[in-house]
Amino acid sequence: MGIGSLLQKIEEVLADVDIAAAEAYERALPRLIDMVNETMEQREDLSDLIGSNSREVMYTNHANHGSFIAAQLKVKSARTLRDIAIWAYRSYISRGFSPSYFPAVLTAWKDAVGRYLGDDTSKAAQVQAVYQVLLENHHELLIESQASTAPVRVEESLLPYFRNYLRALIEPDSQAAIQVSRAFIQTVRDIPVWWEQVICPTMYEIGRLWAEGEITVGQEHIATAITQRVMALFYPLILELPREKGAIVVTASPGELHEVGARMLADLLEMNGWDVYYTGANTPRDSILSLLEVQRARFLCISTTMPSNLGHVAGVVQDVHAMNHGSSVQVLVGGQAYRSDHGAWRAIGADMYFASAGQAIYYLDAEVNGNETRSGIPEISGGPVRPVRPRDE
């Protein structure tokens, strides 16, 4: 079976998983994870399977996998499931896990589902079919994981800045990162280009390097911390601009620890005249709802990096639409979690998806001006619409 046939097969088995089976899996998740951990711990060949990695690395993978599958049983994005499976193979093998680890752990998951969803054989069978497809296509996933990944695209005139900024993050050298940023940002009008066309691709490249095993998780975290410092350094320039378009809430989804994308959007919205209430990472659902009510915001923007958090996004969307004034609140979503499947936002019930901050601002400005834009967002599949400039340019 080729990779295209695999996608079709995943679509078929996901479509067969009903909501009762998906919810049963989610409820049983703590017990499923415990059983998978225990099963793998008891293997005599465990050290061969995980290499020099600690068991904690394996446990973390199991927890992340469970959350991801729980989300996909509801969202049903075959492309996302396939691409994340390939990513997991690539990332963990680059860190010393054996390719044989994957069929071993997928079998453990399949057995755990049979045990803890076994009171209803139909529910268990629906979920086990998903694992069976992954098991049957281990060879194809392994081959795809060995293919080289495409480098990020950067405008040619910005390549020197991109390379210098990336080098500063990897070394790591906070002062160098600040210096290269200051060399480009002469006025507040330069911030949008730096945010979207230098910082954004640089952080994508940092993520790719981590997945390829070329940098450590510690280096990735330091790179993120340096970027947050850089963004904070220039924020006072944004504070000087007026805000007259109304309140808008920007947040990373519940469970989401990556917040650079959300912060970038918040900054650019402020530059364009919005009164932004930015909550940061991993904001509880109740806090988001309360903020919407108190500030009477018309829009909620949710940024999600990890596909395992899409289930949380769906919960927020459902709660927002159930609010008394929910019909007047639009939920806009974006982030790396939608990279494989730009249509996944429909499955979680959001009102619109944007591949960049520029697209979101284009749409919001048109909404404020009373224009119908749902069918006219340019370049919805990816990439900035245009450099975002302050509203009064």
Provide the whole-model pTM. 0.87
Q: How confident is residue 3, by pLDDT bands cut at 50, 70 and 90? A: low
Tell me the CA end-to-end span of the chain in Å, nearest whole number: 55
Comparison of pLDDT for 151 and 42, the residue scoring more: 42
Bond into 172 cis (ω within 30): yes
CATH number of 243-368: 3.40.50.280
Query: How many other C-beta atoms are found inside a 10 Å radius of the C-beta of residue 325?
Result: 11
Average pLDDT of span 277-293:
94
Query: How many other C-beta atoms are found inside a 10 Å radius of the C-beta of residue 310?
Result: 30
389 pLDDT exceeds 90?
no
Q: How far apart are CA 382 and CA 388, in angstroms?
A: 15
- Ranking 226-230, 301-305, 333-337, 379-383 by mean pLDDT, the lowest is 379-383
Q: Would you state the pLDDT for residue 327?
A: 59
Which residues on adjacent β-strands are paired with residue 331? 300
Between 310-322 and 55-75, two packed helices, what is the crossing angle to 10 degrees? 40
**Four-point Cα dihedral 260, 257, 15, 106, nearest 10:** 130
- pLDDT tens digits for range 332-378: 999 999 999 988 999 999 999 999 999 999 999 998 887 654 444 44
Q: For the chain, give the percent of residues with pLDDT over 70.
A: 92
300 pLDDT exceeds 80?
yes
Domain ranges of the chain: 3-145, 156-237, 243-368
DSSP per-residue string spanning 64-96: HHHHHHHHHHHH--HHHHHHHHHHHHHHHHHTT
Q: Which residues have CB under 8 Å from 324's CB, separation 6+?
A: none
132 pLDDT exceeds 60?
yes
* C-beta separation of 170 from 219 below 8 A: yes
Q: What are phi and psi of 248, to 5 degrees?
A: -145, 140
CATH number of 3-145: 1.10.490.10
Q: Would you state the pLDDT for residue 384?
A: 36
- Ranking 22-36, 163-177, 317-331, 360-374 by mean pLDDT, the lowest is 360-374
- pLDDT tens digits for range 19-50: 999 999 999 999 999 999 999 999 999 999 99
Exposed, middle or buried, 295 (CB in 10 Å: 0-12/13-18/19+)? middle
Q: Would you state the pLDDT for residue 190?
A: 97
- In this chain, the answer to whether the domains covering 3-145 and 243-368 adopt an identical fold is no
Q: Would you state the pLDDT for residue 381?
A: 33
Element (H, E) at 124: helix 121-136
CATH of 156-237, one of 1.10.1240.10, 3.30.300.10, 1.10.3720.10, 3.40.50.170: 1.10.1240.10
Q: Would you state the pLDDT for residue 325?
A: 55
Handedness of CA 209, 210, 213, 216 (dihedral sign): positive
- pLDDT tens digits for range 66-123: 999 999 999 999 999 999 999 999 999 999 999 999 999 999 999 999 999 978 889 9
58 pLDDT exceeds 70?
yes
Q: How confident is residue 1, by pLDDT bands cut at 50, 70 and 90? A: low
Q: For the chain, give the percent of residues with pLDDT over 90.
A: 84
Handedness of CA 56, 69, 311, 357 (dihedral sign): positive
Q: Would you state the pLDDT for residue 368?
A: 83
Q: Would you state the pLDDT for residue 390?
A: 36
